[in-house]
């Protein structure tokens, strides 16, 4: 019996990322052609949400259904974790019932603990360090547009958060260049950045951290942003909005990138803050293609981890 595979970090798919992107494309083509594809018939996925979600919940639930399986939504109020049961015990119990667990958590340590105690695959639906499902979907979206990822440049503008951390790892793995423009004190995780740079060097890619968004955007094929205030940071709203006010993707910043540059946002967007309506609704925005591709990329992840496709 093959050892179970988890997706806690982008590093967990380092050797299989290209294959996952190809599988996402095949699954999307079958879906669009109306061809049934049900490798997860009879299988169930438990989805534990400590943080609210639109795209993660709907895409995983619909994805499991389209693959022939079943998804169960569990909020902290629906499980004994909220009443003091350990994560380890929850992992052991759920492993007796379901074929996989998706966990959207506040802390990386919680996802690691769940994964180390579960006997079924665990998928990280987001934690404070990374958002791997989002970035697999993003790279799939970029590949659809450009075919080859090698040598492309992505400029990330804003908070060096979980999305930024996973983007650094993901771009490094596929040989893309990336520059992250972040205000002082809001840089990406130092440990994950060092790991990403190590991988990038081996793949002929460059990863840079900048202060000036205009410098970061220069010659970029893609501009990418995320919210300035994530869930759990509401008390810092005023301070963060002040720190990030020069880090907006707007018409001026778009002009600094390549003429055919495309704009990405993992959503939800706070329009008028990190991105303007003009850019988000403009012809260079692929934000909603990105959102759709969460479904197709996650179906690839589910098929790979739960059925070994």
Token pair 């400590």 is at which residue? 50
- The per-residue pLDDT for 178 is 98
Percent of the chain with pLDDT over 90: 91
State both tokens at 290: 């990105």
Nearest CA-CA partner of 5 in 127, 124, 120: 120
Residue 32 CB partners (closer than 8 Å, separation 6+):
none
Strand residues in the chain grouped as ranges (E): 44-49, 70-74, 100-104, 122-126, 153-157, 177-181, 207-210, 222-225, 262-265
Answer whether residue 82 shows pLDDT above 60: no
Ramachandran angles phi, psi of 229, nearest 5°: -120, 105
Per-residue pLDDT tens over the stretch 277-291? 999 999 999 999 999
Cβ count near 238 (within 10 Å): 9
d(CA 149, CA 144): 10
Please, what are the domains in the chain?
A: 10-131+294-307 (3.40.50.1370), 133-290 (3.40.50.1370)
| Residues taking part in catalysis | 104, 131, 134, 226, 266, 294
The pTM is what? 0.96
Per-residue pLDDT tens over the stretch 120-163? 999 999 999 999 999 999 999 999 999 999 999 999 999 999 99
């Amino acid at each position: 019996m093959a050892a179970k595979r988890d997706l806690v970090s982008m590093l967990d798919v380092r050797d299989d990322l290209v294959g996952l992107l190809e599988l996402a494309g095949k699954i999307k083509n079958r879906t669009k052609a109306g061809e049934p594809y049900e490798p997860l018939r009879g299988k169930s996925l438990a989805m534990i949400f400590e943080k609210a979600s639109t795209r993660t919940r709907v895409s995983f639930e619909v994805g499991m259904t389209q693959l022939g399986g079943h998804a169960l939504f569990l909020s902290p109020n629906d499980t004994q974790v909220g009443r003091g049961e350990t994560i380890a015990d929850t992992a052991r119990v759920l492993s007796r019932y379901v074929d996989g667990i998706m966990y959207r958590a506040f802390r990386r340590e919680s996802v690691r603990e769940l994964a180390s105690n579960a006997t079924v695959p665990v998928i990280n639906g987001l934690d404070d360090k990374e958002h791997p499902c989002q970035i697999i979907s993003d790279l799939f979206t970029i590949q659809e547009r450009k075919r080859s990822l090698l040598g492309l440049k992505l400029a990330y503008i804003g908070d060096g958060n979980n999305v930024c951390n996973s983007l650094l790892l993901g771009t490094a793995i596929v040989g893309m260049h990336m520059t992250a423009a972040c205000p002082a004190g809001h840089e990406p995780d130092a440990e994950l950045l060092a790991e990403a740079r190590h991988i990038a060097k081996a793949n002929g890619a460059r990863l840079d951290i900048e202060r000036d968004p205009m410098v970061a955007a220069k010659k970029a094929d893609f501009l990418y942003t995320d919210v300035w205030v994530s869930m759990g940071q509401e008390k810092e709203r005023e301070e963060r909005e002040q720190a990030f006010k020069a880090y907006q993707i707007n018409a001026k910043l778009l002009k600094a990138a390549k003429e055919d540059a495309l704009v990405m946002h993992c959503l939800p967007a706070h329009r008028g803050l990190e991105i303007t309506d003009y850019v988000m609704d403009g012809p260079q925005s692929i934000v909603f293609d990105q959102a759709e591709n969460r479904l197709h990329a996650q179906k690839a992840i589910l098929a790979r981890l739960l059925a070994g496709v």
